[in-house]
Structure 1
Amino acid sequence: MSKFKKKKSGDIPAISTASLPDIVFMLLFFFMVVTVMRDTSIKVKNRLPYADQVEKLEKKDLIMYIYAGEPSDRYQSVAGTEARVQLNDKYASLKDIKQFVFEERQDTREELKQALIAGLKVDKETNMGLVSDIKTELREAEALKITYITKKGAALKNLE
């Protein structure tokens, strides 16, 4: 009569799932921190033209984007088919550009206000008259730093 009996069954013990919720929450937290949300939803067609003399901007947080082009197919029933200006998430008139620039300056730190750049994302089918009107409004708002946002490539691709 022995007190100690040796188990002879070859069963594998069950896998412990005690740490599984910790792993799931760690992954969830990781993806919440790493994911970047889009700032604006673009409501105009935005087929950018090609250019071969381009530079990459380092500080993209100093750019206030102005979109121009005809409304995308999804919004044509509301906004029509004529080329429009979009500031942030809504369509705007040319007169709203000054107010937009002033609001963007209000939201930035004092030492960065002079470094703000107006970035024009203009559809390649948009008339230059609208772009000229946008530039006039920016000039009146004293936003003199303007950049055109394009795709890198041969400029002859724009003729296709």
Structure 2
Amino acid sequence: MSKFRKKDKGGLPAISTASLPDIVFMLLFFFMVATVMRDSTLMIENRLPSADQVEKLKKDRTIFIYAGKPSDLYKQFGKEPRIQFNDAYITVEDVQSSVIQGINDLNEDLQSRVVIGLKIDKETNAGLVSDIKQELRKANALKVMYIANTKTDKL
């Protein structure tokens, strides 16, 4: 008989799970950083008009102004169309100062290329839109875009 025996291979060793928590937390942090959160809570009804030629722009240099009737949760503010900037109702007179503050909050290299996005409900009268545009001119925010749905989108 031989003094030395060959060992049986016996199968694969167990998979080490020591680094599994590190991988899970790394994925968690990645998705927390990469996920875009909603900027503001919509306090108005916002049924956008439809358009057949729509162009998508980057949101990093866009400031949004909403206009429309208060939604069902905010009926205590009446039934007249209101202007919403970020998470608050503002008046026409406050548009200029709010936009200037919003531009100043942006990154310095984006401040000169800022675009104002108007998300106006299709039931809102044109007089309010005209007043908003006049205040934007006073704030020297001359790049304005109107946000609309494409004809294929559901309203």
- In structure 2, the CA distance between the partners of 1:53 and 1:15, relative to structure 1 (3 Å rule), is closer
Q: Aligned match of 1:84 in 82, 85, 105?
A: 82
- In structure 2, the CA distance between the partners of 1:116 and 1:18, relative to structure 1 (3 Å rule), is closer
What amino acid sits opposite 2:47 in the alignment?
R
1:52 lines up with 2:52 in the alignment: yes
- In structure 2, the CA distance between the partners of 1:53 and 1:20, relative to structure 1 (3 Å rule), is closer
Partner of 1:6: none
- In structure 2, the CA distance between the partners of 1:111 and 1:153, relative to structure 1 (3 Å rule), is same
Partner of 2:106: 108
Q: Distance in 2 between matches of 1:107 and 1:16?
A: 48
- In the superposition, the TM-score normalised over structure 1's length comes to 0.77
- In structure 2, the CA distance between the partners of 1:20 and 1:114, relative to structure 1 (3 Å rule), is closer
Q: Aligned match of 2:93 in 95, 98, 112?
A: 95
**Percent of aligned pairs sharing the same letter:** 60
Q: Distance in 1 between matches of 2:141 and 2:126?
A: 19
Shift of 1:151: 0.8
Shift of 1:23: 3.8
1:150 lines up with 2:148 in the alignment: yes
Q: Distance in 2 between matches of 1:16 and 1:30?
A: 23
Superposed CA deviations along residues 96-154 of structure 1, whole A, max 9, x for unmatched, are 11111211232234453332111100011111111111111111222111110001128
1:1-160 alignment runs, 5 A limit: 18-57=18-57, 59-76=58-75, 78-153=76-151
What amino acid sits opposite 1:103 in the alignment?
Q
Tell me which moved more, 100-109 or 118-127.
Answer: 100-109
What amino acid sits opposite 1:72 in the alignment?
S
Equivalenced residue count is 152
- SS of the residue corresponding to residue 61 of structure 1 reads coil
Q: Distance in 2 between matches of 1:21 and 1:71?
A: 47
Shift of 1:43: 0.9
Q: Distance in 1 between matches of 2:108 and 2:70?
A: 35
Q: Which runs of 5+ in 2 are unaligned?
A: 1-12
- SS of the residue corresponding to residue 98 of structure 1 reads helix
Q: Distance in 1 between matches of 2:101 and 2:20?
A: 47
What amino acid sits opposite 1:66 in the alignment?
I
Shift of 1:16: 6.1
Q: Which runs of 5+ in 1 are unaligned?
A: 1-12
Going by fraction, where is helix more abundant, 1 or 2?
1
- In the superposition, the TM-score normalised over structure 2's length comes to 0.79
